[in-house]
Structure 1
């Protein structure tokens, strides 16, 4: 009898264990099912992680978050297929490229009521008329950062970078479009110039900047400027904000004669499995308090005009990060240039970097 009772108890325990395991497995499958999972593909360190947690708690969705380090890497992966990203964050010229290749979905603005919070000046840009495919996430500029301990009479215009007083003191971006763009602006041309002779002349102008060049770098620039190891550099507004947060002697200026204005944007890839969650996340990030929190964390300018009331007035009133109308009129968005023209930019910039 005891053996029979023990056997029954053991059998019940096994059944109970199997039931619990099945329940846990079902819960796990539900949590990772396409209808409950949002897959985001974004730049590295480009969102406050606390906001992802908040979104998950508010909506019940689980977020899978993957990162890329360049528009080209992101574009290649999506073009290759086999991915199920529900949201991606390309820059302006890449939005154009993705739309032409039918890699992203047209947006239903009725599902984006918080789109009304975006500054109208930052909507309906040339790379995506009427925001058919994209919603602004962050925006910023290209400018000059300098150290007030190492630079007297700091430059306010691009042409001043060529002054002999800055011999071997400048850090330049390892970016063909940015550096060729600066040379084009100093010669009165658009940053989207396609004429070969004009581009060759810009490279020749750029060559004369080599005596003032300490290094042509990427993210390494931050360390040089933060540690007072370089006097000035060409950089993006968000990176400038990060450096200035470390070193109070650093300042950022956007030359009023013109520069690049860039946009990073939410888009929904054609292969998205959970568009409902994608729209929910975009709306969540467009809520003013969430947009302000994200801008505080990332350091870039928010396109959300309602979010500004939650940000430090010192930041909002800083014309380097939120340029005035006069400067905005002279800022240009990079266009998606033909492949052959892009190659010309890259070849000429490589020639500049090999200059001795």
Structure 2
């Protein structure tokens, strides 16, 4: 009896270990996504409709996701990297091509978000959400028209009143745009000039923060913030005095994408999920929950009029054309961005 109990215990332990490693059988989908980036009700709905069980794990940066998939400890079936990371993963031969013949809703995607430079023909990725980098301002403290351009952030009236999201590419990026340069600049002297301009912004910067920026702005702790469009939507839902804009001189146009890592195992579940999540009514539900811009034109049509016609979050073609998609830069250049940004953060302290 004791031996039997030990054997049963080992069997249970083995099953739990397999579950934690994403290997629970053919009825499983191992999904690796950003935190709070899908409506949990949709996961439940998918499981009930298809019989597949979703093992859902989260990451907090593209780099962390890349490293874990590269190490190969877990056989993820789907992951959600940003555009430059799709390019990097593809260069490293970490992705499998997507079989378009198995996709039911490929023709529902907005043409503006398809066939982008990081994955021509969407051979390895499908857009999940997309958006922009921009400026959030509080009309309690900022007059109409007082902020329209990146350079307006340097106005002395915003002393100690601006919050910046903690992201080297984005903060260095808007400084580059303010100098008339590309957000994908690799030239060291130009990057140094962008950092020097950021140093001159330091008196206006109240804090450089991550997710807590949403709470601070919702609670009127600062007049202005620089953050992504989806984060802005969350803030604005909590505070009607907040507004979002993309400066006319351009910004970052970003895409988060569904990809199939080479270690994937559950292909029936993968295509079942891709078709489920891109079904227009499901995609619309997901967009309402997450607050980011859906790539599905048919899903957009199902959203409330106030959402689907909001040019802040569903920008027109002119804004899209003026904005840049991040490229996968050489690691040495990425290191320079990170080092200069760290120096800026230390400088302001």
TM-score by length of 1: 0.90
1:97 to 85, 88, 91: 88
Q: Distance in 1 between matches of 2:183 and 2:118?
A: 14
Considering only aligned residues, what root-mean-square deviation do their CA atoms show, in Å? 1.6
Equivalent residue number for residue 83 of structure 1:
74
Equivalent residue number for residue 165 of structure 1:
157
SS of structure 1 residue aligned to 2:326: coil
Equivalent residue number for residue 138 of structure 1:
129
| Correspondence list, 1:310-325, <5 A | 310-325=302-317
Q: Distance in 1 between matches of 2:87 and 2:133?
A: 21
Q: Distance in 2 between matches of 1:78 and 1:325?
A: 35
Q: Unpaired runs of 5+ in structure 1? A: 1-20
Q: Tell whether 2:184 aligns with 1:192.
A: yes
Q: CA deviation at 1:62?
A: 1.1
Q: CA deviation at 1:330?
A: 0.5
Q: Distance in 1 between matches of 2:40 and 2:342?
A: 38
Q: Tell me how many residue pairs correspond in the alignment.
A: 330
Contact 1:34 1:273 in 2 (8 A): no
Bigger radius of gyration: 1
Contact 1:162 1:209 in 2 (8 A): yes
Q: Unpaired runs of 5+ in structure 2? A: 1-7
| Correspondence list, 1:41-120, <5 A | 41-120=32-111
Equivalent residue number for residue 302 of structure 1:
294
Equivalent residue number for residue 281 of structure 1:
273
Deviation digits for residues 78-127 of structure 1 (CA, Å, limit 9, x no counterpart): 11112111111111111111111111101111011211111111001111
Q: Distance in 1 between matches of 2:91 and 2:25?
A: 27
Q: Tell whether 2:261 aligns with 1:266.
A: no
TM-score by length of 2: 0.92
Q: CA deviation at 1:129?
A: 0.8
Equivalent residue number for residue 238 of structure 1:
230
Equivalent residue number for residue 149 of structure 1:
140
Q: CA deviation at 1:334?
A: 0.6
Contact 1:288 1:304 in 2 (8 A): yes
1:348 to 329, 340, 348: 340
Equivalent residue number for residue 123 of structure 1:
114
Equivalent residue number for residue 183 of structure 1:
175
